Amino acid sequence: MSSLITDLLRQTGGTAVIDGGLATELERHGADLNDPLWSAKCLFSFPHLIRQVHLDYLENGADIIITASYQATIQGFKAKGYSDEESEALLRSSVEIAREAREVYYKNCAGCRSGDGDDDGRILKQRPILVAASVGSYGAYLADGSEYSGDYGDAITVETLKDFHRRRVQILADSGADLLAFETVPNKLEAEAYAQLLEEEDIKIPAWFSFNSKDGVNVVSGDSLMECGSIAESCNKVVAVGINCTPPRFIHGLIVLLKKVTTKPIVIYPNSGETYDADLKEWVQNTGVTDEDFISYVNKWCELGASLVGGCCRTTPDTIRKIYRTLSSSQSI
């Protein structure tokens, strides 16, 4: 199981590219995501847009695409009136859509005549591509901002969280995805729940755990990142551990902390550094870093030990193209 990411990294020269923001790209294509289901709303409203955004990322150099299931939960779909079967089918469709995008991409690569893998500005290069099924936190389902506070209250236990995630994790693990991406993990409790679930359910595909931070030291709940990273380190089914949806300026210090507790590949996909207004449920424009500033960090992150790099909210195919170029040029030196 541990070979999935190490095999990929061997084939890509030591570093691989993850895709960028999905929801913000869907909005740019005209989707209205003002809904507790957020990007998961598109699974039934605009599946073609999701496929197009996945394809855009592949054509801009992503080796790993993350499905639109971050906020897709059986509980959330049922609240919208879907049956159990329909909810499970919607979850599976998030993986099918990503796999379809990969097929279209491979066909386009086969038809590419230029030979250098670059056609009409698109990167068309036959390479291993992984589909990572996104699992958002319990806080993402609540859609009340608690994924950015990590505060679930005293009533929520490891058992509650395992029960909440169990069926979704089983379905996504059986859906044809290559790995599970547990993203924006806001606290230690949820990391423990995921680790126990992977073992108890004997999940057959590997996973990565990716935490978020708003102070550059701890995860957003205030729990120690090193303790959270240790949980990932001790779970055999976890093949990479890292940070997402966190401002780029904090990443350096967080990698240093993670390296103290894990030897697993480090995955880094920050947001654009913009501020999220939880009351308005909007990103505050022009509070982040430019793509150039974002990119200026990338080599440093890799020197420190990151091997999978991409972007989270508000990053675009352009950001990913620049990461791809930066990593390709540093590999050829």
Binding site, annotated residues: 245, 312-313
Whose Cβ is closer to Zn ion: residue 186's or residue 203's?
186
Nearest approach, Cβ of 236 to Zn ion (angstroms)? Answer: 27
DSSP readout, 195-246? HHHHHHTT-SS-EEEEE--SSSSB-TTS-BHHHHHHHHHH-TTEEEEEEESS
**Residue 326 structure tokens:** 């930066």
Residue 263 CA, chain-centre distance (Å), reads: 20
**Residue 330 structure tokens:** 């540093």
Q: Residue 301: name the closest of 276, 326, 268, 330 by CA.
A: 268
Nearest approach, Cβ of 245 to Zn ion (angstroms)? Answer: 3
Give the residue numbers of the binding site for Zn(2+).
245, 312-313
Sequence-distant (≥ 6) Cβ neighbours of residue 142 within 8 angstroms: none
Whose Cβ is closer to Zn ion: residue 309's or residue 312's?
312
Nearest approach, Cβ of 24 to Zn ion (angstroms)? Answer: 8
Interface contacts to Zn ion, rule CB under 5 A = 245, 271, 312-313
Residue 189 CA, chain-centre distance (Å), reads: 20
Q: Residue 271: name the closest of 241, 301, 235, 316 by CA.
A: 316
Whose Cβ is closer to Zn ion: residue 39's or residue 326's?
39
Whose Cβ is closer to Zn ion: residue 96's or residue 310's?
310
Nearest approach, Cβ of 196 to Zn ion (angstroms)? Answer: 25
Whose Cβ is closer to Zn ion: residue 313's or residue 327's?
313
Nearest approach, Cβ of 22 to Zn ion (angstroms)? Answer: 9
